Amino acid sequence: MQIHLAKPGGERHGPFTLDQVNRDLAAKKYSDTEFWAWYDGADAWVPLYSVPGILQTETSAAFASKPVAPEKAVPPATPAQAQQEEDETAIAQLASGMPFQTLEHLFIFTSGEGQALLQSPLTVALVEKVVGEKWPVIREKVPRDVFGRCDIGQKLRAEGKVPESAWRAMSALKPELIQQARAGAFRTTVRTFSLDAVGIAALFLFYRKEPS
Q: pLDDT tens-digit profile of 64-77?
A: 444 433 333 233 33
Q: Is residue 69 part of a domain?
A: no
Three-state secondary-structure class, residue 15: strand
Domain check: are 85 and 60 in the same one?
A: no
Mean pLDDT, residues 104-116 taken together: 88
Mark whether 135 and 185 lie in a shared domain: yes
Same domain for 56 and 87, yes or no, is: no
Band of residue 122 on the pLDDT scale cut at 50, 70, 90: confident
Residue 52 sits in the same domain as residue 111: no
Considering the chain, what percentage of its residues have pLDDT values greater than 70?
77
pTM comes to 0.65
Q: Which pLDDT tens digit goes with each residue over 71-109?
A: 332 333 333 434 444 444 444 457 888 999 999 999 999
Q: Report the chain's mean pLDDT, rounded to a whole number.
A: 79
pLDDT digits (tens, 9 = 90+) for 156-170: 888 888 999 999 999
Expressed as residue numbers, the domain containing 138 is 80-208
Residue 74 lies in a domain: no
pLDDT at 91: 47
Do residues 17 and 3 lie in contact, with contact meaning Cβ atoms separated by under 8 Å?
A: yes
Asked if residue 116 is part of any domain, the answer here is: yes
Residues 52 and 112 in one domain: no
Checking if the pLDDT of 13 tops 70, the result is yes
Do 93 and 184 share a domain, yes or no? yes
Q: Indicate which CATH number applies to the domain containing 52.
A: 3.30.1490.40
d(CA 18, CA 22): 6
Three-class SS state of 39:
strand
Percent of the chain with pLDDT over 90: 33
Total structural domains within the chain? 2
- The SS3 assignment for 34 reads coil
DSSP 67-131: PPPPPTTPPPP--HHHHHHHHHHHHHT----S-GGGEEEEEEEESS-HHHHHH-HHHHHHHHHHH
Are residues 58 and 163 located together in one domain of the fold?
no
Shared domain check, 189 and 84: yes
In this structure, the answer to whether residues 93 and 193 fall within a common structural domain is: yes
147 and 92, same structural domain? yes
Would you say residue 183 lies in a domain? yes
Domain boundary among 15, 40, 64: 64
Residues 126 and 56 both lie in one domain? no
d(CA 132, CA 147): 22
Q: Identify whether 70 is part of a domain.
A: no
Q: Which whole number is the average pLDDT over 127-155?
A: 92
Whether residue 79 is preceded by a cis peptide bond, meaning omega within 30 degrees of 0, is no
Query: What single-letter DSSP state applies at residue 49?
Result: G
142 and 58, same domain (yes or no)? no
Lowest mean pLDDT among 28-32, 128-132, 181-185, 202-206: 28-32
Cβ atoms within 10 Å of 66's Cβ, excluding its own: 8
Single-letter amino acid, residue 132: G
